[in-house]
Structure 1
């Protein structure tokens, strides 16, 4: 696997990491149709835990089968596949070496009203199953956010020590944050910055709106005329908050929506300098042929062909 200049540049940003971690980051960036470009599309399937099986898979019953999802990622030429322990154990042997795997280490469920997540996997599990990275979610703003951050600190330290990369879902919610505030510009940029400060290699955040949630932050945005006018400029600002673009940031696909909206999001991420998409329900809830067509077009957008 000969690394491209772009991938070498990105790896150079992670100066303290060991060769094993850099090799796993390179493996993710050098896999699939976007290999070597510095862009990536990742398929995450943790929605069954978060929302329940029927809400996640009934729109496309084939998706109840754990094998359906990594095969979709492989056939679509994606960079990686992320899922919790049970689904990973069900497929890891069959997909070994075909697509980089990310073990999602913690999860919430819609039966609980808590703004917290339970740790459901270990770094040992990730190593045993041949994963390239671990994934973890924090909820900045929630009453349990500090405990989640400390849990992440410990797991990230352990993962890095054995050469795994670390992906952090940074989703502000709870506390004084309003529903609109969860995707506010100032809040999303803050979430990306916190994830970078916590040592994540790959950061996952939601696409920001032009809403500003925090009064003190709004004064600064207004004073310095920070451009929030388009989705692309908002993505660019999130990248600026992630160490001036020196951390990999991918953006959530969110709830199922029309195909044109999905493509518009991808173009905004590309034009704003984002590294790509981590997109689940918008693909696997569609029939397989439609999902493959959609993923192929998203990849084409990141390649500059669409």
Structure 2
């Protein structure tokens, strides 16, 4: 890994661990709760303990000045829920575009096992090559998604994360397999840091138990969007997740640290 990549990886994580809050959902879902006033949300989650935030390039001017000196990742493809195929992620920018808007890293979403896999594989490989030339880290969002595929199957997820490494990514994000024991297969499938997606919010305690499971399985953290930025208290939820990832707290301890324990169901 070149010096530039190493330096920039330190900007988007802490000691090899990552709490990233993706907020690129404006393309996918539209201006949903937490994204209408994205400036306030970015300020809240980075004050709470997020290492980095992630958006599409077009809102970069709304990120800088609100991220409290934390890292910034620009996402390079997307799709919408109202389009013909949400899995058909199309390019929305280049590594050079990301550099121009002040990104510390780039990310790219790939659906391994879908009919779009061949094009997305080629695109990710090209992005990794371009990023290597510029010393920019690549976060590959590698999911197991396609007809007949269980999106949470550990073997399928293991294939997806290994594919990301083979193509040149530096960090890989994927779905959680549901428990620490099975997720050990996923983290053991690659030498890259493996972080999990948040998905649909499932309640504070369960979300933090999942994060705890990832850490116990050798994972490097999370890239968690809606469970944090759509929370009634995004700063507190970011603080709770960061406590598990960076302070080795249990789910229950993290709720206490963040002041979220009261009223949470077991």
TM-score normalised by L of structure 1: 0.76
Partner of 1:198: 167
Residue pair 2:171, 2:193 contacting (<8 A) in 1 also: yes
* Distance in 1 (alpha carbons) for counterparts of 2:44 and 2:67: 15
Partner of 2:30: 52
**Equivalent residues in 2 for 1:257-268 (5 A)?**
257-268=202-213
Matched, 1:170 2:142: yes
Structure 2 CA distance for partners of 1:286 and 1:96, relative to 1, 3 Å: closer
Residue pair 2:138, 2:171 contacting (<8 A) in 1 also: yes
Partner of 1:41: 19
1:95 Cα deviation after fit: 4.4
1:27 Cα deviation after fit: 2.3
Post-superposition CA distance 1:207-266 (Å, at most 9, x none): 014xxxxxxxxxxxxxxxxxxxxx111221111011xxx211110111012111111111
Residue pair 2:161, 2:174 contacting (<8 A) in 1 also: yes
Residue pair 1:141, 1:177 contacting (<8 A) in 2 also: no
Partner of 1:184: 153
Partner of 1:295: 238
Unaligned runs of 5+ in 2: 254-266
Matched, 1:82 2:47: no
Q: Which moved more, 1:251-260 or 1:113-122?
A: 113-122
* Distance in 2 (alpha carbons) for counterparts of 1:291 and 1:81: 13
* Distance in 1 (alpha carbons) for counterparts of 2:248 and 2:63: 33
1:79 Cα deviation after fit: 1.2
Unaligned runs of 5+ in 1: 1-16, 30-34, 210-230
1:72 Cα deviation after fit: 2.3
* Distance in 1 (alpha carbons) for counterparts of 2:68 and 2:166: 31
Please give the root-mean-square deviation of Cα atoms over the aligned residues, in Å: 1.7
1:91 Cα deviation after fit: 2.6
Residue pair 2:11, 2:70 contacting (<8 A) in 1 also: no
Post-superposition CA distance 1:171-191 (Å, at most 9, x none): 1222x334xx11112211111
Partner of 1:227: none
1:294 Cα deviation after fit: 2.0
Matched, 1:278 2:223: yes
Post-superposition CA distance 1:142-188 (Å, at most 9, x none): 112111111111122111101110000011222x334xx11112211
* Distance in 2 (alpha carbons) for counterparts of 1:160 and 1:167: 13
* Distance in 2 (alpha carbons) for counterparts of 1:259 and 1:281: 12
Matched residue of 1:67: which SS?
helix
* Distance in 2 (alpha carbons) for counterparts of 1:89 and 1:148: 28
Partner of 1:98: 69
Partner of 1:69: 41
TM-score normalised by L of structure 2: 0.87
1:96 Cα deviation after fit: 7.3
What is the number of residues matched between the two proteins? 248
Matched, 1:148 2:126: no
